[in-house]
Amino acid sequence: MSENKNATLLENGLRLDGRDLHELRPISMKTGVLDRADGSCYLKWGNNKILCAVYGPRELHPKHLAQPDRAIVRVEYRLATFSVNERKSPAPRRREYELSKIITESLNHILFLEKFPNGTIDVFITVLDADGGTRCAALTAASLGLADAGIPMKGLVTGCAVGKVEDKIVVDLSDVEDKDGQGDMPVAMVYNTGEITLLQCDGKFTAEEITEGLKLAKEAIGKIYQMQRRALLAKYSQIAESYDEDEEEE
């Protein structure tokens, strides 16, 4: 995070992309986009474009990694070579390993892994275009992919970052705000229970700013959670319509 408070990230009370301080970027999501995966999701969040594929529960290989009382979750978070301004090496970076681990830990809290002993649930996340806030967007997409796969879970995990820009708390940081702002606080939770599954903080926040940030994050997450629900309902509405059409033909 930049400590440069002279960086112009706000103009006349608006952010550089024209949003209000507490306004989300445009978000769209769709499930069931990959035929060969058990569950999948394609998410557009601002300029972020993320594809998630879920496989499992299935037998774990190598078998010596298996847990006799539960399944394990394996998450692979990867940035496509063309997803950032300068071409990225195809080899995974340290940050990709770190975010894979963070997303795994967050998902572990919502899945009933004890129902699938000796098994694995594999989650592959590919960021096709990156523009700030990819960990929260990726976690939101992964949660939808798991639900699309029909894996038992407590509820959907939804993420959104808040941050500090020119001494103001803002919601859903863009890439430039993430890099040049004063602080970044990614938050994820199970909205219908209020359980926080991810909370990180980079930068300097007062106790009051953290309290305000968490309140704003929960409000934003509530809006995104409703989008997740609509994305799932849209798929099953299509299935129901297809079933009705088949019944009429018979």
Residue 8, CA distances (Å) to 12, 31, 177 in order: 11, 38, 10
Q: Is residue 3 part of a domain?
A: no
Q: Is residue 14 part of a domain?
A: yes
Share of the chain above pLDDT 70, in %: 92
**For residue 241, what pLDDT band results from cuts at 50, 70 and 90?**
low
C-alpha–C-alpha distance, residues 96 and 76, integer Å? 8
* pLDDT tens digits, 20-38: 999 999 999 999 999 999 9
Query: Domain of 173: which CATH number?
Result: 3.30.230.70
Is position 107 within any domain? Answer: yes
- Cis peptide bond N-terminal to 57, omega within 30: yes
- The answer to whether position 5 is within a domain reads no
Domain-embedded: residue 1: no
- Please tell me the total count of domains within the chain: 1
- Note the Cα 54 to chain centre separation in Å: 14
Q: Does 19 reside within a domain?
A: yes
CA gap 108, 105 in Å, rounded: 5
Whole-number Å distance between alpha carbons of 161 and 102: 14
pTM of the model: 0.90
List the structure tokens of 126.
């590919």
User: pLDDT of 76-134, one tens digit each?
Assistant: 999 999 998 778 788 888 999 999 999 999 999 999 999 999 999 999 999 999 999 99
- Confidence band of 2 (pLDDT split at 50, 70, 90): very low
Instruction: Please answer whether residues 169 and 23 qualify as being in contact, where contact means their C-beta atoms are separated by less than 8 angstroms.
Output: no
Kindly state whether residue 2 falls inside one of the protein's structural domains. no
Note down the domain range covering 188.
10-249
User: Is 234 contained in some domain?
Assistant: yes
Instruction: Determine the Cα–Cα distance for residues 165 and 171; give it in Å rounded to an integer.
Output: 10
